Structure 1
Amino acid sequence: MRYLLLLLLTALAYQTSFAQSKVDEYLMQQEQLKKTQLLRELDSGVYFMDNGDYVTADVKFQYVLDHIKSVPSDLTFFFGKNSFFLGKYKQSIDWLNKYIQLKGTNGQYSQEAVQWQKKAEVEYVKQKTQDPKVVGNILSTNYDIDCGPGGKVICPVCKGEHVVVKKAAFGNTYKTCAYCDEHGLLTCVEYNQLLRGQLKPKNAE
């Protein structure tokens, strides 16, 4: 009797585990399908931007931002570039800066991102002095940024040097960076926490 009961419990546990794995597989497929659809929306936004319809492109990019779990690095570039054409220069600087932080000089759009960022900075200065009206901006601190397959990002605080240099009256002072590892890198979680001001220094004084 005990053997039959054990056999029954084993079979039940197996069925439960099998059912759960099927549910997990289904949810994973749905998540992948959703991501594929969102990436199509992203491509559609790029199409409209390249054809000068910046308002429609903005709608497409914002839709992706509002529905994707982790923002792809390419979207940080496209959204930043498109924001420039809409006259949202602060927003443009912020998102293009994120792309440059993530990709450095090796990204597909790195050179272009630096060029658009410089243009946005010039226009932003003009905008602040000429137009007192505050333009609403969607800033990257409200989103989780996807750091790519490596899962590591060069620390924007020390620029990957692991040392922060401060200019003083009697010469420069050097301090170990309080946020990154010994290689000047942050994990993706740490990077997103830093963007939101939530990352605590590791060696706070």
Structure 2
Amino acid sequence: MNSLISKIQLLLFAALFSAVSLAEAQVNLGQTDRWMKGALAAMERKDYQTANSIFRNLIESGLPLPDEMPYYFSETLFELGQYDNSSNFLNKYLELTGFKGENYEGAKDLQARLKAPLAAIESCELCDRRGYRYQTCFTCDGSKQIEQTCNYCKSKGIVGCSRCAASGMIKKVNVFNIVEFFECERCSGKGRLTCPECAGSGKEVSDCKTCSGSGKITSDSICDHKPHVHEGESVK
């Protein structure tokens, strides 16, 4: 009897758990559906910035994503000039759905439209491979290198001679056990040497770490592939 009751309780618990899980799934799908409708409505009125924000919120939410979502997101990114990102999401859409996707024809059309802007990015020297325009590095101001105080000589430009302990003289004991002093050949008796790190300048020059010695960093502006001068950028 007790065994039968336990089985009934277990079945009831399983049924309750399934019902709760189903309800949660329906809530999640409902939220996903609302966001998708909002994004598509924004695209319809050509408000691609809003559509972009909604799609990104949907991605970051961890909710189930509709199969067609990557296609619509790639269209949105294309309209915003984010061609590299658009291509990435479009490729993911085609990878996931293949020719069976509802928007397969639209995806192939977008793929064709992406060829020209992607080629322009590839050949442009004013932007990175994602299409974001370069700007002058704010750390080195485009010089590619940073000048700082030499740590080796503490900006003095000279260091003590290690062979003679900065005395300028070398002490030797001859065969008669007599101590003799000779001028240090390494430092010519001066007891000091030009700093080998900064060559006596007291300054140390190294590649700028911010831009890795290139003199430029990527901005958050989409490149138009046209030379122009504005704050923080100079045409080379």
Bucket of the pairwise TM-score, normalised by the shorter protein:
0.5 to 0.7
| 1:124 alignment partner in structure 2 | 118
The one-letter code matched in structure 2 to 1:25 is A
Name which of 53, 57, 62 aligns with 2:56.
62
Structure 1 residues 53, 70: CA separation in 2 closer, same or farther (over 3 Å shift)?
Answer: same
Higher share of residues assigned helix: 1
TM-score (norm 1): 0.56
C-alpha separation in 2, matches of 1:17 and 1:103: 38
**Does structure 2 retain, via aligned residues, the 8 Å contact 1:92–1:117?**
no
Out of 97-106 and 70-79, give the one that drifted further: 97-106
TM-score (norm 2): 0.49
| CA apart distance, 1:134 | 6.0
Structure 1 residues 50, 85: CA separation in 2 closer, same or farther (over 3 Å shift)?
Answer: same
Segments of 5+ residues of structure 1 without an aligned counterpart are 1-6, 138-205
Out of 67-76 and 114-123, give the one that drifted further: 67-76
The one-letter code matched in structure 2 to 1:51 is R
| 2:148 alignment partner in structure 1 | none
The one-letter code matched in structure 2 to 1:124 is L
Deviations 1:75-100 (A, max 9, x none): 01101111111221111112212333
**Are 1:96 and 2:64 an aligned pair?**
no
| CA apart distance, 1:102 | 3.8
The one-letter code matched in structure 2 to 1:39 is D
| CA apart distance, 1:135 | 4.8
The one-letter code matched in structure 1 to 2:109 is Q
| 1:38 alignment partner in structure 2 | 32
Deviations 1:76-135 (A, max 9, x none): 110111111122111111221233334444433212111112222321221233342465
Segments of 5+ residues of structure 2 without an aligned counterpart are 133-236
| 2:164 alignment partner in structure 1 | none
Higher share of residues assigned strand: 2
Q: 1 or 2 for the larger relative contact order (CA 8 Å, sep ≥6)?
A: 2
% same residue: 21
User: How many pairs align?
Assistant: 131
User: Which of the pair has more CA radius of gyration?
Assistant: 2
**Are 1:77 and 2:54 an aligned pair?**
no
C-alpha separation in 2, matches of 1:71 and 1:126: 32
CA RMSD of aligned residues (A): 2.4
